[in-house]
A and B are shown apart, each in its own frame.
Chain A
Amino acid sequence: MDKTITYPLQIGPTHPAFKEPVRFSFKVEGERVAGVDIDLGYTHRAIEVISKERNFIQTIYLLERICGICSVSHPMAYCMAVEDASGIEVPPRARYIRTIIGELERMHSHLLWAGVAAHEIGFDTLFLYTWNIREKVLDCLEQFTGNRVNYAMLTIGGVRRDLTDDLIPVIEQTLEYYLEVYQRTSEILLDDQSIRYRCEGTGILTYDQAVALCAVGPTARASGLAKDVRVDYPMLAYPDMDWLKPITPLDIGKEPAGDVYDRMVVRVLELKQSVDIIRFCLDNLPEGPIASINGSIKIINKLKKVQGEGIGRYEAPRGEVAHYDILDMSECPVQMKVKAPTYSNAFAWVPMLQGSEIADIPIVIASIDPCIACADRMTILRDDGATETLNAEYLHSLSVNKMKEVKSRCSG
Chain B
Amino acid sequence: MRIRKMKKSFKRSLWAFHINTGSCNACDIEILATLMPRYDAERFGIKLVGTPRHADVLLVTGPVTEKIRDKVIRVYEQVPDPKLVIVIGGCGSTTGVYQESYAVTGPVDNCIPVDVFIPGCPPRPEAILYGVARAWEKLEKIMKEGSKNAS
Q: Which residues of chain A have a CB within 8 Å of any CB of chain B?
A: 13-21, 41-47, 49-50, 53, 61-62, 65-69, 71, 112, 128, 131-132, 135, 138, 148-150, 371, 376-377, 391-393, 396
Q: Which residues of chain B have a CB within 8 Å of any CB of chain A?
A: 17-33, 36-38, 48-51, 62-63, 65-68, 71, 75, 91, 96-98, 100-104, 121-122, 124
Which chain B residues border A17 with CB–CB below 8 Å? Answer: 18, 32, 48
Inter-subunit contact A42/B67 (CB<8 Å):
yes
**A41–B22 Cα gap in the complex (Å)?**
9
Asked, given contacts A13-B68, A46-B101, A50-B100, whether A65 binds B31 with beta carbons under 8 Å apart, the answer is: no
**A46–B66 Cα gap in the complex (Å)?**
11
Task: Provide 17 A-B residue pairs closer than 8 Å at the C-beta atoms, listed in order of the A residue.
Answer: A14-B19, A14-B71, A16-B17, A16-B49, A42-B22, A44-B22, A46-B103, A50-B97, A62-B97, A65-B26, A131-B33, A132-B36, A132-B38, A138-B33, A148-B30, A149-B26, A149-B122
Asked, given contacts A17-B18, A68-B24, A131-B32, whether A49 binds B122 with beta carbons under 8 Å apart, the answer is: no
Which chain B residues border A135 with CB–CB below 8 Å? Answer: 33, 36, 38
Inter-subunit contact B31/A45 (CB<8 Å):
no
Inter-subunit contact B20/A14 (CB<8 Å):
yes
Which chain B residues border A44 with CB–CB below 8 Å? Answer: 22, 65-67, 103
Which chain B residues border A66 with CB–CB below 8 Å? Answer: 24
Inter-subunit contact A21/B20 (CB<8 Å):
yes
Inter-subunit contact B97/A61 (CB<8 Å):
yes
**Would you give the shortest CB distance from A275 to chain B, in whole angstroms?**
21
**A392–B68 Cα gap in the complex (Å)?**
18
Inter-subunit contact B26/A16 (CB<8 Å):
no
Asked, given contacts A16-B17, A43-B20, A393-B50, whether A69 binds B26 with beta carbons under 8 Å apart, the answer is: yes
10 closest Cβ pairs, A-B complex: A68-B26, A18-B28, A16-B50, A393-B50, A392-B50, A43-B22, A68-B25, A46-B103, A131-B36, A68-B24
Which chain B residues border A45 with CB–CB below 8 Å? Answer: 22, 63, 65, 98, 101, 103-104
CB closest chain-A residue, reference B36? A131
Which chain A residues border B68 with CB–CB below 8 Å? Answer: 13-14, 21, 42-43
Given contacts A112-B29, A132-B36, 7 further A-B contacts (CB under 8 A): A17-B18, A18-B31, A45-B63, A49-B102, A50-B101, A69-B26, A392-B51
Inter-subunit contact B24/A65 (CB<8 Å):
yes
Asked, given contacts A16-B17, A44-B67, whether A393 binds B51 with beta carbons under 8 Å apart, the answer is: yes
Q: Which residue from A20, A50, A53, A62 sits with its C-beta under 8 Å from B25?
A: A20
Asked, given contacts A135-B36, A392-B50, whether A150 binds B98 with beta carbons under 8 Å apart, the answer is: no
CB closest chain-B residue, reference A391? B51
**Would you give the shortest CB distance from B38 to chain A, in whole angstroms?**
5
Asked, given contacts A13-B71, A61-B97, whether A131 binds B37 with beta carbons under 8 Å apart, the answer is: yes
Inter-subunit contact A150/B38 (CB<8 Å):
no
Which chain A residues border B22 with CB–CB below 8 Å? Answer: 20-21, 42-45
Inter-subunit contact A68/B18 (CB<8 Å):
no
Q: Which residue from B30, B32, B38, B65 sits with its C-beta under 8 Å from A43?
A: B65
Inter-subunit contact A65/B37 (CB<8 Å):
no
**Would you give the shortest CB distance from A142 to chain B, in whole angstroms?**
9
